A and B are shown apart, each in its own frame.
Chain A
Amino acid sequence: SQQGEEDPQALSIQEGENATMNCSYKTSINNLQWYRQNSGRGLVHLILIRSNEREKHSGRLRVTLDTSKKSSSLLITASRAADTASYFCATQAGGTSYGKLTFGQGTILTVHP
């Protein structure tokens, strides 16, 4: 079954605004990652947060993780037109999975110039 559910499915904002995407998952995790996919391209890793971390920053990206609620959020500050892409969360399960990543369905972000 699909591990990650993302919300919203699509987000449209103006350049300079902040964009927030949410991800929920169902089972215990080792870490949670966010990836970006530009149209017609492969996924690119953005940021990883471990299960014992609550917040992580990388440039204009801020990720939070709440393991009690099994949810994560990705905040992109001061968005640019070049941020237009699909964003996916992916969970790496704890336990016996051999490092398998399970992806959510993604949020399509459109940033208007």
Chain B
Amino acid sequence: DTAVSQTPKYLVTQMGNDKSIKCEQNLGHDTMYWYKQDSKKFLKIMFSYNNKELIINETVPNRFSPKSPDKAHLNLHINSLELGDSAVYFCASSQDGSRLAKNIQYFGAGTRLSVL
């Protein structure tokens, strides 16, 4: 069984469209994350949720909206897609994202988003 699974794996869409990426983890972890990896492989955190509560919200355009219906799921909705949104988006989870814990993260395989 895949520990952190995200769908779809590939997403090709036109500028201006709205799209969603889904993520699920079956590890029983409390904390989930969304990262963006650009073409230079630089990995930057976007959001983090702990037990359905938003705890990290980096400087991300408000066209990006995360939603966590329960602690096993964290979805990412993107409105009005732009060319610069093209990247690989990774979902991750960790047992305890608190600052006092060893925050070892488990990653999904990524969603490659191409905006045309």
Contact = CB atoms under 8 A, between A and B. Distances in A.
A30 B99 contact: yes
Nearest to A86: B41
Nearest to B91: A42
Interface in B44-69: 44-45, 48, 50, 55-56
A103 B43 contact: yes
Interface string B84-115: 00000010101011111111111111100000
Interface in B27-52: 31, 40-45, 48, 50
Interface in A53-112: 86, 88, 92-103, 105-106, 108
B21 interface: no
A57 B22 CA distance: 36
B72 interface: no
Nearest to A98: B55
A39 B106 CA distance: 17
Given A43-B90, A100-B56, A31 B102 contact: yes
Contacts of A88: 43
Majority secondary structure of chain A interface residues (helix, strand, loop or mixed): strand
A33 interface: yes
B81 interface: no
Contacts of B98: 98-99
Interface of B: 4, 31, 40-45, 48, 50, 55-56, 90, 92, 94, 96-110
25 contacts: A2-B42, A30-B100, A37-B41, A42-B92, A42-B110, A43-B43, A43-B90, A43-B92, A43-B107, A45-B106, A50-B102, A88-B43, A92-B102, A92-B103, A93-B99, A96-B99, A98-B48, A98-B55, A99-B99, A99-B101, A99-B103, A101-B45, A102-B45, A106-B41, A106-B43
Interface of A: 2, 30-31, 33, 37, 40-45, 48, 50, 86, 88, 92-103, 105-106, 108
